[in-house]
Amino acid sequence: MKKQKLDLLAFRILMSVLLCIALIGAMLYYSNTLSNELYENSVNTLTEISAQNVDILKTKIDAQTDSLAEVAARIAVPTDWDIAYTTYTLNQVMKRYTFKSMGIVLPNGEAYLTNGAQVKISGESWDFMQGVFDGETIISNRAEGLDGDSIITVMVPVNKAGEVIAILMATSTTESIQEILDVSFFNGQGYSYIVRSDGRIITSSTFPTSFKDISNIFDALTEADASNAAACEQMKHDMQFREDSYIQYKNGTNYYMSYSEIGINDWYLLSVIPVSVIDSTRNGIMASTYLLCSVIIIVFVLIITYFIRVERKKRMELQDILYVDPITKGYSYQRFCKEAREKLDSDKRNAAVVVLDIEKFKVINELFGYEDGDKVLVYIWSLIKNWVKPDEIYSRRNADIYSMLIFYDSEQELAERVYSLAELIQNDRLEKRKGFVIRPAIGIYRVENRELDVQSMQNYASIAKNKIKGNASGNCVAYYDDSYKETILENKSLEDRMIAGLKNEEFTVFYQPKYDAVTQELSGAEALIRWKNADGTYTPPYKFIPIAEKNGFVLKLDKYVFRKVCEDQKRRLEEGKKVVPVSVNLSRQHLYNSAFIEDYRKMVEARNIPINLVELEVTESAMFENQDEFMSIIDRLHKIGFKILMDDFGTGYSSLMMLKSIPIDVMKLDKSFVDDFNDEKGEKIISCVTQLAKSMHIEVTAEGVETEEQYQFMKKLGCDNIQGFYFAKPMPMEDFDKLL
Ligand code: C2E
Ligand code: MG
Ligand code: MG
């Protein structure tokens, strides 16, 4: 049971841990995916921005070439080609554009510039320009102007009548192109270069962290950090095959550089952004994500801990219910067993298990009420609490039974201690109980076999206690010894045999005649049960009736006797014999269940015999146990017509006053009264009781009359009937029938 509980707990903890791991795993996977996605996203943004920059650049340059083409058309209009007019016009145009200078180149290589200079173009530059005479627009690579500035030149053809008559050219400084690119991106942290596919710089950047005074980006990268070599190679390779992509490089810190083909010459636009910028956005989002994940995990863990705690609390409460006796608030029996086991294992002194039972506790409950009954239970518990030594264990076991585990050095000490407890309880008179003496019945089991479970030790102590329980006057302490066990086994086998015996009709009814005291005529009989053994002998009722009373079997036996008597009476009536009333014993067990009344009535009715032919004997102890119920049952039996006999009068707790309140028809004086006949005091008592009964119209029958003297004496006192060996012993039905 305990192991099962542990397993369940372990399983739950394991499941919670697994769930936690799964949750953390899922969170990690999610955050990792998110991180990758964010990274890709940032890099894509970088390439997108780069592409946008390319667009902006191209649009601007296209606008410039378009403007130039317009100017070219304008200067071609006059019929006479006038250089002076043309340069004048160009100077006017210059004011509207951001060109550094403009000029016109004639097919003979002569060039007229807006600053008034006239130069002859030849060699490489002249070759480079030839395409324009074929109608193309050409943009030069970076070159050094006459004044040492880095410039770029745009050249467009001047057409007249389908013929290129000159080249219109305009130069811009690289700075002015650079300005176009200085559109801030990534919050002003990104910047651009324009380079040729072999890395040569077209325009550089003025951004503080950019490479300064460089002529080739590849050289700049490899010079900045040796670790950039591979990235550099990749970029070179990509640009050679005209592919757009990005690299990561180091120049102090790490940067991303994306490269996109511009579509002018072999130019590439490079967009640079520090890795930290991209990562900071990513890190920010990731930090929030991790925070969120942590919060979720913490909440999850908190919820699980909460549930585990609630569960634990519930278990503790359950344990409380299990471990605390609700009445005394002391140890429950379960707790007692647990603690006693541990104590027995750890303490090797002589130990004894003591069971204490309160005699007639039921009566206390009935006389004083259950609430007071509970108070008595708590009070006795407190007496025991004060009596035990600090390291001994005690509890109320159930109802009015207490268990203790005590230790002792000598037999004498054990006996003295237990008797002192009995005395303590007996001597205690609570004012409320007005002198009612609480009598304990105590059973002791000296622990011989420590391996034995505590319950069995208790059972042994209980066996000893049960032996003496109910001895009104005898000893109130008993020790368990093995012979008890034999008795119990014997009783157990008797119990088993009894049940079979009833089926096998081993039980028979004997009749003991009753005689009229005056006429000495047969006036009635008592039915007494006998158990016939296989060898023809009989087991007397005192051996099996007490056992049958404990297990309730007596109800069946009584019914069996009653039915038998009814049948016998019916037969006698049918046979025309003399028929006298026969009394049948009614065990006190019937008082706990009045259902028998109907059964008995039906048994008589079914055989159609006069109701006065069967009488019922009850004992006074039965009445004492439950007076109200007793009265109501007698009342109902009377209503049916049964005569009620009070059996064994004088042995129980009855008082003469009680006679007044109980509606009985016959009083059977117990044999002990009859035996007292030659004692003067006894004589007076018997005479007094008989007189009292007579005065209340109660018939008196003397039981156990054995001698002539006893008979004469009882007759003299006015007893109505005599039952005893003097006249006849109980006899089998056949013999009684003969007598009739
Ligand atoms: P009881 O009802 O008081 O029955 C009278 C007992 O006294 C009988 O004992 C009877 O044999 C005995 N007796 C009668 N005259 C004399 C005498 O002169 N001298 C002596 N020494 N004894 C005499 P028995 O049959 O052994 O029954 C004992 C008790 O067993 C009965 O006492 C009754 O309480 C119980 N009992 C017997 N049969 C039944 C039964 O069918 N149902 C129940 N519930 N109890 C029964
Ligand atoms: Mg009787
Ligand atoms: Mg009797």
Q: What is the CATH number of the domain that holds 210?
A: 3.30.450.20
Residues 152, 171: contact at Cβ < 8 Å?
yes
As a whole number of Å, the end-to-end CA separation of the chain is 68
244 shares a domain with 170 = no
- Report residue 329: phi and psi, to 5°: 65, 10
Q: Please give the average per-residue pLDDT across 575-596, as a whole number.
A: 89
- Is the per-residue pLDDT at 363 higher than 90? no
Q: SS3 for 163?
A: strand
- Specify whether 516 is located in the same domain as 618: yes
Residue 26 lies in a domain: no
Per the domain annotation, does 6 fall within a domain? no
- Of 445 and 493, more confident: 445
Q: What is the pLDDT of residues 519-529, one digit of tens each?
A: 999 999 999 99
Q: How many CB atoms lie within 10 A of CB 487?
A: 11
How far, in whole angstroms, is CA 456 from its chain's centroid? Answer: 32
Check if 641 has its Cβ closer than 6 Å to any atom of ligand 1: no
Which residues 6+ apart lie within 8 Å of 644 measured at CB?
A: 615, 616, 618, 634, 637, 638, 663, 664, 665, 666
Over range 435-441, report the average pLDDT: 77
Report which of 340, 371, 543 is spatially closest to residue 445, judged by C-alpha positions. Answer: 340
Predicted confidence (pLDDT) at residue 167 exceeds the cutoff of 70: yes
Indicate if 433 and 371 belong to the same structural domain: yes
pLDDT exceeds cutoff 50 at 431 = no
Q: Is 429's pLDDT higher than 70?
A: no
Nearest CA to ligand 1 atom 12: 704
Q: Are residues 462 and 391 in the same domain?
A: yes
- SS3 of 91, please? helix
Q: What is the pLDDT of residues 232-251, one digit of tens each?
A: 999 999 999 988 999 999 99
13-22, 142-151, 183-192, 329-338: which has the minimum mean pLDDT?
Answer: 183-192
Query: Based on the domain organization, do 725 and 660 belong to the same domain?
Result: yes
Print the domain residue range for 86: 76-175
Question: Cα–Cα distance between 387 and 122 in angstroms, integer?
Answer: 132
Q: Please identify, among 118, 153, 175, the residue that sits at the C-terminal boundary of a domain.
A: 175
Q: DSSP for 592-622?
A: G-TTHHHHHHHHHHHHT--GGGEEEEEEHHH
Verify that 337 and 473 share a domain, yes or no. yes
DSSP H or E segment with residue 107? none
Q: Which residues, in sequence order, are CB contacts of 218 under 8 Å at separation 6+? A: 198, 199, 232, 235, 236
Whole-number Å distance, alpha carbon 703 to ligand 3 midpoint, is 6
- Are 136 and 188 part of one and the same domain? no
* pLDDT class of 473 with cuts at 50, 70, 90: low
Closest-CA residue to 167 (of 186, 184, 154, 176): 154
Domain count for the chain, please give it.
4
CATH at residue 506 = 3.20.20.450
Out of 480, 509, 537, a domain closes at: 480
Q: How far is the CA of 648 from the centre of ligand 3 (A)?
A: 4
Do 146 and 219 belong together in one domain?
no
Q: Is this prediction's pTM over 0.75?
A: no
Rounded distance between C-alpha atoms, residue 355 and residue 464, angstroms: 9
**CATH code, 416:** 3.30.70.270
Which of helix, strand or coil describes residue 507? strand
Interval 586-605 mean pLDDT: 89
The stretch 594-598 carries a mean pLDDT of 91
DSSP 469: T
Judge if 83 and 135 occupy the same domain: yes
Q: Both 166 and 266 in a single domain?
A: no
- Nearest residue CA, atom 8 of ligand 1? 528
Mean pLDDT across the chain: 87
Q: Is residue 285, in this structure, part of any structural domain at all?
A: no
CA-to-CA distance for 283 and 274, rounded, in angstroms? 14
At which of 480, 502, 527 does a domain end? Answer: 480
Q: How far apart are the CA of 539 and the centre of ligand 2, in A?
A: 17
State which ligand 1 atom lies nearest to the alpha carbon of 587. Answer: 44
Residue 54 domain-assigned (yes or no): no
Residue 616: which of 636, 595, 637, 632 has the closest Cα?
637
In a domain, 523, yes or no: yes
Q: 133 and 193, same structural domain?
A: no
Residues 457 and 521 placed together within one structural domain of the fold: no
Q: Is residue 531 part of a domain?
A: yes
What b/e readout covers 286-307, taking b as 16+ CB neighbours within 10 angstroms?
beebeeebeeeeeeeeeebeee
Q: What is the pLDDT of residue 597?
A: 95
Query: Residue 45 domain-assigned?
Result: no
Q: What is the DSSP letter of 576?
A: T
Q: For residue 671, how far is its CA from the centre of ligand 3 (angstroms)?
A: 7
In three-state form (DSSP H/G/I as H, E/B as E, the rest C), the secondary structure along 232-250 is HHHHHHHHHCCCCEEEEEE
> Which pLDDT belongs to residue 1?
44
Q: Whose CA is nearest to atom 46 of ligand 1?
A: 585
Q: Hey, which of 211-215, 330-334, 509-513 has the most confident mean pLDDT?
A: 509-513
Q: Which pLDDT tens digit goes with each residue over 616-667?
A: 999 877 776 667 788 889 999 999 999 999 998 876 555 566 677 778 999 9
Assigned domain for 393 exists: yes
